[in-house]
């Protein structure tokens, strides 16, 4: 029982991380209806920047906020420069460009910060008052951070004019244009937000898995699985999906299939969700007109 509980909780802790990656994916999907394959590498690159800032003597939180702001600007720039000319292009073109971005960001991390594995500091000291038997301080802390991000996003989309405009631009670009929303900039904003969330996720993951250019490879896949399971157009669903994936992965890994097939769990989840329930557990059914 003790062991089961332990596995369950450590699954939840992983799930929090997958949830935050899933959240970033959902942000781009909502804004552009594209699945960003470069999300993981972008987040890794952001994390490297935070690491470099901390190496230069900055305090954790200063580095954290500068990185988040920088990532927002970076994501916006990537959309403006690289993806804007491709807005009307077919899906294949977009996927190829995403793969191109993935390779470039991966190479940039490797070139600027080399391939050696680095440790990344956690902002939550080991013996904090909120550390418990089942959750370490870092796990609880990153859960708190994720909840904050989720709450802020909800408030942003629900209560601000820009958030409303972004939703409108995603749902019906033509009508949104007619009422004076700059749809193209809204897409850019979506990319910026996704890059910022990715940066937060990266900085929360790095203390656990250590920092190297390929840090996000497997995690991105779990993020995908979580986002699809929860429904790729619902932020809350994506977070819940991430949690479910984390728990499933840990329990199956510990009791059923062993740790060396964990990525296959994600594969099965992705293919299973897409074929059996393509809208996810919480997603809305999309009906398209011929």
Q: How far apart are CA 230 and CA 22, in angstroms?
A: 9
Residue whose tokens read 């038997």: 133
Return the number of the residue (62 or 112) whose C-beta is nearest other proteins: 112
Residue 183 structure tokens:
């749809």
Return the number of the residue (163 or 173) whose C-beta is nearest other proteins: 173
Q: Give the orientation angle of helix 217-230 with respect to helix 2-32, to 10 degrees.
A: 80
Return the number of the residue (12 or 227) whose C-beta is nearest other proteins: 227
Binding site for other proteins (CB under 8 A): 34-35, 37, 82, 85-86, 89, 91-97, 99-108, 110-111, 115, 213, 217-218, 221, 224-225, 228, 258, 260-264, 266-267, 270-271, 274-275, 278, 290
CB 256 within 8 A of CB 25: no
Return the number of the residue (73 or 95) whose C-beta is nearest other proteins: 95
CB 165 within 8 A of CB 175: no
Return the number of the residue (112 or 148) whose C-beta is nearest other proteins: 112
Contacts of 100 (CB under 8 A, 6+ apart): none
Give how far the C-alpha of residue 220 lies from the chain's centroid of Cα atoms, to the nearest Å: 7
Contacts of 73 (CB under 8 A, 6+ apart): 192
Phi, psi of 136 (to 5 degrees): -80, 165
């Amino acid at each position: 029982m003790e062991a089961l509980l332990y596995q369950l909780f450590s699954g939840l802790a992983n799930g929090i991380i997958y949830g935050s990656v899933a959240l970033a994916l959902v942000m781009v999907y909502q804004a552009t209806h594209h699945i960003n394959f470069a999300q993981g590498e972008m987040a890794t690159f952001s994390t490297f920047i935070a690491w470099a800032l901390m190496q230069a003597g900055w305090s954790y939180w200063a580095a954290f906020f500068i990185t988040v702001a920088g990532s927002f600007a970076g994501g916006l720039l990537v959309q403006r420069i690289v993806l804007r000319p491709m807005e009307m292009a077919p899906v294949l073109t977009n996927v190829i460009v995403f793969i191109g971005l993935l390779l470039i960001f991966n190479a940039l991390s490797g070139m600027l910060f080399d391939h050696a594995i680095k440790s990344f500091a956690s902002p939550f000291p080991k013996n904090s008052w909120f550390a418990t038997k089942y959750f370490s301080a870092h796990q609880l802390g990153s859960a708190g951070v994720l909840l904050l991000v989720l709450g802020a996003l909800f408030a942003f989309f629900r209560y601000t004019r820009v958030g409303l405009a972004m939703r409108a631009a995603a749902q019906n670009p033509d009508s949104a244009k007619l009422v004076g929303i700059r749809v193209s900039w809204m897409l850019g904003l979506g990319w910026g937000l996704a890059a910022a969330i990715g940066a937060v996720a990266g900085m929360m993951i790095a203390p656990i898995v250590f920092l190297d250019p390929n840090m996000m490879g497997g995690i991105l896949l779990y993020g995908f699985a979580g986002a699809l399971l929860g429904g790729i157009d619902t932020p809350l669903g994506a977070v819940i999906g991430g949690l479910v994936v984390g728990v499933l992965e840990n329990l199956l890994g510990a009791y059923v299939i062993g740790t060396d097939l964990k990525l296959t769990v994600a594969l099965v989840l992705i293919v299973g969700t897409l074929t059996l329930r393509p809208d996810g557990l919480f997603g809305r059914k999309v009906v398209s007109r011929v």
